[in-house]
């Protein structure tokens, strides 16, 4: 339930995110699909900590998706900005090719490159 695609479409989870994209673990534990599997908070926390798809905060209270390193998050760019304008930011001979570009939420855009190295250029 914490994959990037779900977070960008699930309005409830988005409404529960803080500015660092963390969601309280109790929010996840209270989701119907999770409650059908278990209500054991220790087990839920253990599973979340062992998953490479998410990151649990130091206190074990919040969780957020682990974004691939080949994705750059552009912040404070309105949803109304045309996608061509966002992609144009990377149309430079020194920039690697953009694989995808999508509006996420809260004025954030995800720009995906082929590799970690490309994203860091």
Exposed e or buried b per residue across 84-120, where buried means at least 16 C-beta atoms within 10 angstroms of its C-beta: eebeeebeeeeebebeebebbbeebbbbbbeeeebbe
Strand 108-113 and strand 62-65: pairing?
Answer: unpaired
| From 19-23, 24-28, 56-60, 87-91, the region with the lowest mean pLDDT | 19-23
2: enclosing H helix or E strand: none
pLDDT digits (tens, 9 = 90+) for 10-54: 788 888 999 888 999 999 999 888 999 999 999 999 999 988 778
**pLDDT reading at 1 higher than 60:** no
Residue 54's pLDDT is what?
84
SS3 content of the chain, % helix, strand, coil (to 5): 35, 20, 40
**Residue 6: pLDDT band with limits 50, 70, 90:** low
Burial of 21 (0-12, 13-18, 19+ CB in 10 A): buried
Reported pTM: 0.53
Residue 2's pLDDT is what?
54
5 vs 47, more confident: 47
**Class of domain 71-120 as given by CATH:** alpha beta
Distance of alpha carbon 58 from alpha carbon 22, whole angstroms? 12
Query: Which fold, 4-65?
Result: Arc Repressor Mutant, subunit A (1.10.10)
Q: Which residues pair with residue 74 across a beta bridge?
A: 109
Residue 120's pLDDT is what?
80
In the chain, domain spans: 4-65, 71-120
């Amino acid at each position: 339930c914490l994959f990037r695609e779900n977070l960008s479409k699930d309005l409830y989870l988005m409404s529960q995110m803080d500015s660092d994209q963390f969601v309280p673990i109790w929010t996840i534990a209270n989701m119907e699909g999770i409650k059908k599997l278990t209500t054991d908070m220790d087990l839920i926390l253990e599973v979340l900590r062992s998953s490479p798809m998410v990151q649990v905060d130091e206190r074990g209270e919040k969780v957020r998706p682990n974004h691939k390193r080949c994705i750059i998050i552009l912040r404070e760019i309105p949803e109304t900005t045309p996608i061509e304008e966002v992609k144009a930011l990377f149309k430079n001979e020194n920039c690697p090719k953009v694989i995808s570009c999508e509006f996420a939420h809260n004025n954030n855009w995800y720009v995906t490159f082929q590799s970690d190295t490309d994203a860091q250029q």
